Structure 1
Amino acid sequence: MRDQNESIKILHVDDEPGFADMAATFIEREDDRFDVKTVTSPDEGLQHIKTEPVDCIVSDHDMTKQTGIEFLESVRDEYPSLPFILYTGKGSETIASDAISAGVTDYLQKGNGTSQYTVLTNRIRNAVDKYHTQTELAEREKRLNLFFEQSPLGVVEWDK
Structure 2
Amino acid sequence: MGDRISAPVDVLCVDDEPDGADLTAIRLERIDERFSVETATSARAGLAYIEENTVDCVVSDYKMPDIDGLAFFERVREKYPRLPFVLFTGRGSAAVADDARSRGVTDYLEKDADDRYEVLADQIRNAVEKRRREIPPNGHGQ
Counterpart for residue 47 of structure 1: 48
Counterpart for residue 75 of structure 2: 74
Q: Percent identity?
A: 47
**Structure 1 residue 130: Cα displacement:** 0.4
How has the CA–CA distance of structure 1 residues 3 and 93 changed in structure 2, closer, same or farther, with 3 Å as cutoff? closer
Unaligned runs of 5+ in 2: none
What is the CA deviation profile of residues 108-134 of structure 1, one whole-angstrom value per residue up to 9, with x for unaligned ones?
000165x21111101100010001111
Letter in 2 for 1:42: A
Counterpart for residue 131 of structure 2: 131
**Structure with the greater relative contact order (CA < 8 A, sep ≥ 6): 1 or 2?**
2
**Structure 1 residue 103: Cα displacement:** 1.4
What is the CA deviation profile of residues 2-61 of structure 1, one whole-angstrom value per residue up to 9, with x for unaligned ones?
644321000000000001101100000000000000000000111111110100000000
Indicate the SS of the match to 1:85.
strand
Counterpart for residue 121 of structure 1: 121
Structure exhibiting the larger radius of gyration computed from Cα positions: 1
Unaligned runs of 5+ in 1: 140-160
1:9 aligns with 2:10: yes
Counterpart for residue 87 of structure 1: 88
How has the CA–CA distance of structure 1 residues 92 and 4 changed in structure 2, closer, same or farther, with 3 Å as cutoff? closer
Letter in 2 for 1:124: I
Counterpart for residue 105 of structure 1: 106
TM-score, scaled relative to structure 1: 0.81
Instruction: Give the distance between the partners of 1:121 and 1:14, measured in 2 at CA.
Output: 17
Q: RMSD over aligned Cα, in angstroms?
A: 1.6
Counterpart for residue 22 of structure 2: 21
**Structure 1 residue 101: Cα displacement:** 2.1
**Structure 1 residue 102: Cα displacement:** 1.8
